[in-house]
Amino acid sequence: MTTTLTGPVLVLLDHASTGALRTTVLELLTIARSLGPVHGAWVAAAGTPAAAGPDDATLAQLGEHGVEAVHVLDLGSADARLSPVVAEGLTALAAGTGAAALLLTSSFENKEVAARVGVAARAGVVVDASGAEVDDQGRVVAAKTVFAGTWTTRCAIRTALAVVALKANSVQPVPADAATVPAIERLIVAVSEAAGRASVVEHTERVASDRPALGEAQVVVVGGRGTNGDFSAVEELADVLGGAVGATRVATDEGWIGHDAQIGQTGVTIAPKLYIGAGVSGAVHHRGGMQSSGTIVAVNSDPESPIFEIADYGIVGDLFTVLPQTAAELRRLQG
Amino acid sequence: MCVKHVPDIQSERALGPDGRVVRDQGDGTLNELDENALEAALALVEEHGGEVVALTVGPDDAVDAVRKGLQMGAEQAVHVLDDAVAGSDVFGTATVLAAAIRRIGADAPVDLVVTGMAGLDGLTSLLPSALAAELDLPQLTLAAELTVADGAVTVRRELDHASEVLTAPLPALVSVTDQANDPRYPNFKGIMAARKKPVDVLTLADLGVDPASVGGDAAWTEVVEAAPRPPRENRVLVNDDGEAGLRLAAWLVENKLV
């Protein structure tokens, strides 16, 4: 028998400054519905188009995914780009709604928010989780892989409020059986002076490329040392697959591609449905950031590359021959 | 200026039946990412004066981490060693570290707490934020660049969707990434000098921390199941015979990956 939570399950509704929902939010909502009644938390920087709350189209989208209420936080003059500010807002909202769980997307800044909500609300926190459910004792249990993706664990949260940050691509988002019309509720939160003691001097949102965001993409094609700085074959295949382009530490250190493309334990952690590594040796630091990927394909001219140990499909060969051939064939098969 | 350094050590390999990390003997080296934190602290002290205190909490062999800190150039080392700490979650660890930093700060004010961005292979990267919250310090995390001037610290950091520059007045907490610097190697002089530097070993009682508030029983999360991930099945490894790219395309289509 499945137990569900009685208190609301709050979902942080991450969105771009335009107000458009991040794709990962729909995954969170899908998981949240299996836990209990779903409420959205909307946090936007004052003065941005999204500050007033979700627009009608977004609200309809949230309704399709079963959101019962959307709480729009009014943080006054506090800067909503600062993790401590967001954390204070969510802590107040969790207390005010009697929330049993808070779900967030596992991004760098959300993990900071999760840690601070944990301290303030005395709530157990699991980050980089790949799933969440309620056990027969009514506790939230989160699944996650550890040690560079080589172990799977299940972590029970013992506190009244459970905070879980979920990795992108944890679940295939599906709409609710019955759509809802979310109620909009506004909550004014008096943010402490301490939370705003740091200030944002510069904030440059990355220009949205035609490719999906690396941390959220279902397909990621990664170039490593073997590209020798020529990412054209990697990019071509990524575009045929509608995927994102990533890189190893070597490739970013060489300046072949920006540091924001680095996958690994000190870069972005990804778990796409399909990972294709080209000229990637598979050093342990890199594997830590991609080993949870659904299917791993590797193309490398060195048969001794450690990435072949974890690849579902490995090709010992020249990436500049194999990748264009695959891209051309996919184009042909797709007509 | 006085700079303190708070490395979060641990090199972890496996989870035991009790859901705790199994630590092999001799694994207690300084977490690689904490070397970046130490380097940042040492460089700031060289520029602005002050001293670096290396702090760690952990079992006996965690002392290796602060020793490495002393070899790299830290003036003092503090090791919180207490059986009651074992099994703590990140919040228990943050409570202990915060108490230790307050005690260190009673002797000389702490201007900056520097940590690594995460424990490599560690279970969370939550510590810097939890510690900043415990200490009520402004947090500037994931610094790829770090400067201190006019009583304020400024960092540049890369987030998933944006790049940012943050600034805050001192005292503050900073976590640094491996982009921030290239850690120095301890030289012979440093290694010799470190032998003469004592490591201050503190217990929870010394810090006034209730042992019941930390450790495995007080942790807010509990590992209820842990298993090595099963190896991937039906793996294919081929040499390119000139048509491997074509077969890869067919395989991707067949397995509904496109």
State mean pLDDT over B231-256: 92
Confidence of residue B119 (pLDDT cuts 50, 70, 90): low
Residue B249 lies in a domain: no
Residue spans of beta strands (DSSP E) within chain A: 9-12, 38-42, 69-74, 101-105, 124-129, 131-134, 140-146, 151-157, 162-166, 183-188, 199-205, 219-223, 244-247, 274-278, 295-300, 313-316
Q: Which of B156, B46, B171, B76 is nearest to B114 (CA)?
A: B171
pLDDT at B27 over 50: no
Each residue's pLDDT tens digit, B44-64:
999 998 889 999 888 888 888
Strands (E), B29-171: 53-57, 76-80, 112-116, 139-143, 145-149, 152-158, 162-169
Q: Could you tell me the CATH number of the domain that includes residue B103? A: 3.40.50.620
Assigned token pair, A118: 């944990």
- Is A159 a known ligand-binding residue? no
In a domain? residue B25 = yes
Which of B176, B214, B252, B253 to probe by mutation at the A interface, max A CB count within 10 Å?
B252
Burial of B254 (0-12, 13-18, 19+ CB in 10 A): exposed
Contact A134, A172 (CB under 8 A): no
Among A7-21, A309-323, B24-38, B151-165, the minimum mean pLDDT is found in B24-38
Contact state of A122 with B220 under an 8 Å Cβ cutoff: yes
pLDDT beyond 80 at A116? yes
Task: Give contacts of A145 with chain B, Cβ < 8 Å.
Answer: 229
Question: What residue of A is the nearest CA neighbor of B122?
Answer: A147
Domains of chain A: 9-196 (3.40.50.620), 219-333 (3.40.50.1220)
Q: Is pLDDT at A231 greater than 80 in this prediction?
A: yes
pLDDT for res A158: 95
The pLDDT assigned to A236 comes to: 96
- Report if residue B167 sits inside a domain: yes
What is the mean pLDDT of the segment spanning B165-184?
92
Mean pLDDT of chain A: 93
Are B232 and A314 within 8 A, CB to CB? no
- Helix or strand holding residue B40 (H, E): helix B32-48
**HSE toward the beta carbon, residue B212, CA cutoff 13 A:** 0
Predicted confidence at residue B11, as pLDDT, reads 34
Average pLDDT over residues A44-53: 84
**B124 vs A284: CA distance, rounded Å:** 18
Q: Establish if B97 belongs to a structural domain.
A: yes
Question: How many separate domains does chain B show?
Answer: 1
Predicted confidence at residue B243, as pLDDT, reads: 94
Contacts of A215 in chain B (CB under 8 A): 160
* Separation CA B83–CA B99 (nearest Å): 17
Instruction: Establish if B219 belongs to a structural domain.
Output: no
Task: Look up the domain containing B33 and give its range.
Answer: 3-213
Helix axis angle, B32-48 to B63-72, nearest 10°: 40
Q: Is residue B114 part of a domain?
A: yes
**Chain A positions in Cβ-Cβ contact with residue B121 (cut-off 8 Å):** 146-148, 265, 288
**CA contacts within 13 A on the Cβ side of A243:** 26
Residue at B240 is within a domain = no
Q: For residue B9, is pLDDT > 80?
A: no
Q: What's the pLDDT score for residue B5?
A: 54
pLDDT greater than 80 at residue A63: yes
Residue A101 clears pLDDT 60, i.e. is over it: yes
CB A144 within 8 A of CB B123: no
Helices (H), chain A: 24-33, 56-64, 83-97, 108-121, 232-241, 249-253, 284-287, 319-333
pLDDT of residue A181: 95
Give ipTM to 2 decimals: 0.86
B78, part of any domain: yes
A169 is in an annotated binding site: no
The pLDDT tens digits for A245-275 are 999 999 999 999 988 899 987 788 888 999 9
Query: The tokens of B25 are what?
Result: 């003997």
How many angstroms away from the CA of A200 is the closest CA of chain B? 5
User: Strand pairing of B172-176 and A244-247?
Assistant: unpaired
